[in-house]
Amino acid sequence: MTRLPTYFVSHGGGPWPWMKAQYGGAYDKLEASLVDIKRQIGSRPKAILVVSGHWETAQFTVSGSPAPGMIYDYGGFPPHTYQIQYPAPGDPQLAARVAALLNAAGHPASVDLERGFDHGTFSMLQPVYPDADMPVVQLSIRHGYDPAVHLAAGRALAPLRDEGVLIVGSGLSFHNLRQFGPGGALASHAFDTWLQHVLLELAPSDREQALLGWSEAPYARHAHPREDHLAPLWVALGAAEQEQAACVYHEDSFFGALTVSSFRFGEAACKEAA
């Protein structure tokens, strides 16, 4: 198997794949970009490692259950969304491998045998693997949101890309819930413009330095009052830090007014991929 790219995806709001009747076509573009990941990577991975912005711990923690349950970490949605099942298997062997790589690199990590899938994982994966037949392991982000720590963690996990493991950082390029709508239009556009410039135009060393100082970006704290949904990006990039980035999803009308994006790091197997 050839080396897999890594991804940072803007995963959308709550359990949206199970609410198409309510949302209409609002998520069509995001859904199409997620479905297209399978074409881009070319071959079926052995497993997926999801770095979820919805799981935050004092030290890096990996989900190690062979049959993860569901975590409905959202509120105010229709009753049926609290009955959703995404019965993808876990992969205890991969969980142990992830923890070992992090520990060997000096980043204390442990395995949680009880952790289930939060919506940063199951909502994002539903369009990609709707049959829920792909082994999935989650990795937490770390308290403090230190970009250097998360970039280094990604660096430590890079060998997984040669072992058939697809690394996906799941967050949102704009995550200010109080500004989800017209109030967030300016901030999301300004921050996204900066992010596009940094990821797509700067040399790898300059790209990393810019991300270390991300809070100085235009409207940074308006876009991310807390950087829990940005930290998965750092891990995904760290695992492919010298490689080219590509924007694989972009729209400026998310929730009616917001600018959001997703990115791939590393080459796609299908060269015509966006």
- What are 125-170's pLDDT values in tens digits? 999 999 999 999 999 999 999 999 999 999 999 999 999 999 999 9
Give me the pLDDT at residue 273, please.
41
Nearest-angstrom CA–CA distance, 253 and 24 = 14
Mean pLDDT confidence for 44-64: 97
Domain map (residue ranges) of the chain: 6-265
6-265 CATH fold: Protocatechuate 4,5-dioxygenase; Chain B (3.40.830)
Q: How confident is the model at residue 271 (pLDDT cuts 50, 70, 90)?
A: low
Give Cα 122 to chain centroid, integer Å: 12
Instruction: Name the percent of the chain lying above pLDDT 90.
Output: 85
3-state secondary structure of 61: strand
3-state secondary structure of 123: helix
Could you tell me the CA-to-CA distances from 37 to 85, 111, 233 in Å, in that order?
A: 22, 28, 16
Give me the pLDDT at residue 143, please.
96
Helices (H), the chain: 20-23, 28-41, 92-104, 119-128, 147-157, 185-201, 204-212, 220-223, 231-238
- Considering only CA atoms, which of 168, 143, 133 is closest in space to residue 154? 168
Beta bridge partners of 70: 117
